[in-house]
Amino acid sequence: MSERVDIIDETGRVIRTCPRVDAKEYLTRWIQVFLFDEEGHWILQQRSREKSFRPNLIECAVGGQVHAGETFDEAAKRELAEELNFEVKLDFAFESWGTYGLCHVFFGTYAGELPEPNKEEVERLFKLNEDEINFLMEKTPFVVMRGFRDSYAVYQQNKNKG
């Protein structure tokens, strides 16, 4: 049986639930985890080449849909464990409306060597500084997940405000 997700309206209100495979044309709820190391480098992932949806693309450390009835916080913790096989303290950072719907972005810090991710979900983890991410976004946006581009733009706007 397919995972179920909540379909939302333009205000974020849940209007119905359906199987995930049937939700592609609708707005849904998403999470992203922006992970940093202790020096402030971003930890990013390259999606598994086995993924049916946008394999091999680069995105934030963790991203995914919120299951029906699940909170954004619960989804962030679940996705982190599923994709990267560890837990860290996550703090809500901001909300972003993007291509796929409403996304809650969380910040976390990971200390130590990068772990071996779940290969069904993640091809590899790597670190970049913000200048390198900006270069990636500007010069090769086609290799970066659209949802991450959307949320990263909001991150930059918030950062530049103060």
Instruction: Write down the pLDDT at residue 59.
Output: 95
Q: Could you read off the pLDDT of 118-159 as tens digits, one per residue?
A: 999 999 999 999 999 999 999 998 999 999 999 999 999 988
The model's pLDDT over 22-35, given as tens digits with 9 standing for 90+, comes to: 998 999 999 999 99
pTM for this structure? 0.93
**pLDDT confidence of residue 54:** 87
Mean pLDDT of the region 3-21: 96
Dist CA 114 CA 85 (whole Å): 11
Give the up-direction half-sphere exposure of residue 55: CA atoms within 13 A in the CB hemisphere: 8
Q: What is the pLDDT of residues 53-107, one digit of tens each?
A: 889 999 999 999 999 999 999 999 999 999 999 999 999 999 999 888 999 999 9
Query: What topology is assigned to 4-161 in CATH?
Result: Nucleoside Triphosphate Pyrophosphohydrolase (3.90.79)
Closest CA relative to residue 64, chosen from 151, 132, 135: 151
Report the alpha-carbon distance of residue 54 to residue 86 in Å, rounded. 24
